[in-house]
Structure 1
Amino acid sequence: MKGVLLVNLGSPDSPTPKDVKPYLDEFLMDERVIDVPPLLRNLLVRGIILQTRPKKSAKAYSKIWWDEGSPLIVISKRFAKKVREHTEMPVALGMRYGSMSIKEGLQDLKNQNVDEVLLVPLYPHYAMSSYETVVVKAMEDQQKYFPEMKITTMPAFYSNDDYIKVLSESIAEGLKDFEYDHVLFSYHGIPERHIRKSDPTKFHCKIDGSCCSINSVAHHTCYRHQCYDTTELVKAYLGLPEDKVSSSFQSRLAGDPWLKPYTDYEFERFAKEGKKRLAVITPAFVSDCLETLEEIAMEGKEQFEEAGGEHYKHISCLNDGDAWVALMAKWINEWEAKETLPI
């Protein structure tokens, strides 16, 4: 019997340092997130970061926490529930980090007699610290706990025509009645070394402004290329002016070069250049979360206005929107019927 496992990032159980600390520990100790030798990672995470970060992160989480719980978890549950209503297959939900584990999601499917699983990482783009770590963890759990299961993984869907249509029309709705000077596509940041590590050719990715435009097999696993491609596809679909659209990257750690330009620097630059009305989109996420609701919607607005900007609009992620639900259901129903992926 076939079934589907949707997997998102995850969240602490509550916006308190007590619950944020183990969540951050699991997240930051992932070798695909902080990709340094284990001893150094242990020293960096448990000896330095976790001494101060949980309190700071808990404060940030408390600013965006809903009565029902973590926004990302609540939205993901709503999305999964709606998808179930559009398919006859069992649909389970798991998180890469936190208490709603991938193992529990697979167990849920096993309890419903599922032995063939479509794994859907809820990330549009491929990155070793998001998409790849979900796939690796799911395969590890499958081999250890559910050897009888077969798992098929949905590819990154950032350039799928139907996805670009749904994303673009959601953005168009967000831009309606907002006379913008600029539209910024802000993507989650990753270290530059992750781009090079994910390059199967080991020579194509130079992060020099040109390699992303030269066709290569490396693009299948190049997060930077895929982000810029998303911006270009949406821009073309909506007919957005070339000079009013750009991309940037957020959420970096100190000490290493991360993908540029940095979103917070762009907020200041736009305002100082006289761009008073800024719209910001976060297409690396399909569900609103800490990075979109606090870092972009709250902190970003404050940074832009402090630098002289006047009107700021954060456009929500797809979340559990009907068009996004219908598209996901279409993909998984086609997989069930044809045993092939439509992407």
Structure 2
Amino acid sequence: MQNDKKQGVLLVNLGTPDEATAPAVKRFLSQFLHDKRVVDMTRWLWCPILHGAILPIRAPKVAKLYQSVWLDDGSPLLVYSKKQVEKLRTLVEMPVELGMTYGNPSLQSGIESLLTQGVNEVIVLPLYPQYSGTTTAAVSDGLTKAFQNISVMPAFRFIRDYHDHPLYIKALAESVKRSWQENGQGDYLLCSYHGIPKRYADNGDIYPQHCDRTTTLLARELGLAPNQIGMTFQSRFGREEWLQPYTDKTIETLPGKGIKKLDILAPAFSADCIETLEEISDQCRELFMENGGEKFTYIPCLNDDELHIRMMIDLISD
């Protein structure tokens, strides 16, 4: 029997506003914060809060933050994600497309583009190294919705996580070593992961365990002792307790403990975005220096780094 399987790859990331304007940010945040995977409050309680208070207040503020990191070709997340797709296309003999869980290009547009190229089996690679229901599972939900509008659903394989993949750890380690060569090694290496509400982890989300495993393996790869590396969580939202320790609160205390030169990276982010370029590289830098720090080095995300792309190829091949 002839094998007529044609595979294609869908790279997936969270998403970004189309423009660095308040209306565009409001549209994006509305879609993002309506997802029950992200905010699981009862809809009749949450929606009035979201539309009556949060979006009108936050959208203009967040738009200004986006403006501070916006690139000539658009949002950093979209720019770097497109570069990842372009590099991957040159190295694998199959179609590769990009889809975002929220915003554009959508998951559905990515799937439809693959189908128009004759693909009948899609390899879905969410670019979240550490699994969380708030991110990875949201991709699965989005795919289910996308398939509802497609008459013949393709077969698909879903790569759930790669938090301990050897090439991922090696790529992180090499990025740290490059930074050390260019900027000198700091007193401490801080791994800042995107946070989630603590309640989600208490209810079974395995995200914090994956973050801990990544940090442990990175420390081993770099030969760092426990007092030379740490793990924190950033980007908390609202009054509820999130995973701790918090990145900003930790950074405030480090200079007082004798850590005057800080290296920081964000292993949970596969591409630089507002959370890394504005929150970490700008806000956290200012916080560290205000509290007595002397040197702050932000180590960029893996973006379209060669080892990062090689890791993607290995995941796809497996």
Q: Does 1:70 align with 2:75?
A: yes
1:313 aligns with 2:297: yes
Q: Aligned to 1:262, which of 242, 246, 250?
A: 246
Native 8 Å contact 2:7 2:121 kept in 1 = yes
1:129 to 2:134 alignment: yes
Offset from partner CA, 1:56-99 (integer Å, 9 cap, x none): 10010000000111010000001101000001111110111112
Which one of 108, 111, 123 corresponds to residue 113 of structure 2? 108
SS for the counterpart of 1:316 is coil
Q: CA deviation at 1:140?
A: 2.4
Q: Which runs of 4+ in 1 moved over 3 A?
A: none
The yes-or-no answer on 1:13 pairing with 2:18 is yes
Say if 2:193 is the partner of 1:187: yes
DSSP 3-state at the match of 1:128: coil
Question: After superposition, what is the alpha-carbon deviation per residue over 1:100-124, rounded to whole angstroms, capped at 9, x for unaligned?
Answer: 1000000100110111101110100
Distance 2:155 2:191 in 1: 37
What amino acid sits opposite 2:308 in the alignment? Answer: W
Distance in 2 (CA, whole Å) between partners of 1:331 and 1:262 is: 31
TM-fit CA distance, 1:195? 1.2
Kindly indicate whether residue 314 of structure 2 is the aligned counterpart of residue 330 of structure 1.
Answer: yes
- Residue correspondence of structure 1 range 206-245 to structure 2 within 5 A: 221-245=205-229
How far off its partner does 1:41 sit? 1.9
Alpha-carbon contact 1:96-1:134 (below 8 Å) kept: yes
Contact 1:186 1:248 in 2 (8 A): yes
| Alpha-carbon offset, residue 168 of structure 1 | 1.4
Secondary structure, aligned partner of 1:33: coil
Q: TM-score, normalised by structure 2?
A: 0.95
Q: Is the 8 A contact 2:167 2:310 kept in 1?
A: no
CA contact (8 A) 1:92 1:109 kept: yes
Distance 2:47 2:16 in 1: 21
Query: Is the 8 Å Cα contact of residues 271 and 302 (structure 2) preserved in structure 1?
Result: yes
Per-residue deviation, 1:181:
1.2
Distance 1:146 1:41 in 2: 34
Following superposition, the deviation at residue 182 of structure 1 comes to 1.1
Aligned mates of 1:171, 1:187 — CA distance in 2? 16
2:156 to 151, 159, 172: 151
In the aligned structure 1, how far is the partner of 2:151 from the partner of 2:260?
A: 55
> Could you tell me which amino acid in structure 2 is paired with residue 181 of structure 1?
D
Q: Distance in 2 between matches of 1:193 and 1:48?
A: 24
Q: 1:312 to 1:281 in 2, by over 3 A?
A: same
Name 1:205's counterpart in structure 2: none
Match of 1:196 among 196, 202, 227: 202
Label 1:141 to 1:240 Cα distance change in 2 as closer, same or farther (>3 A).
same
User: 1:41 and 1:268, CA in 2 relative to 1: closer, same or farther beyond 3 A?
Assistant: same
Q: Is the 8 A contact 1:121 1:135 kept in 2?
A: no
Equivalent AA in structure 2 for residue 188 of structure 1: H
The percent of aligned pairs where both chains have the same amino acid is 40
Query: Residues 174 and 316 of structure 1 are in contact (CA less than 8 Å); yes or no, is this contact kept in structure 2?
Result: no
Q: Secondary structure at the match of 1:247?
A: strand
Counterparts of 1:14 and 1:238 in 2: how far apart (Å)?
39
Aligned with 2:135: secondary structure?
A: helix
Give a deviation string over 1:208-243, Cα, whole Å, max 9, x none: xxxxxxxxxxxxx50001101110000001101221
SS at match of 2:254: helix
Unaligned runs of 5+ in 2: 1-5
Residues 18/165 of structure 1: CA separation in 2 closer, same or farther (3 Å cut): same
Shift in Å, 1:51: 1.6
In the TM superposition, residue 146 of structure 1 has moved relative to its aligned partner by 4.8
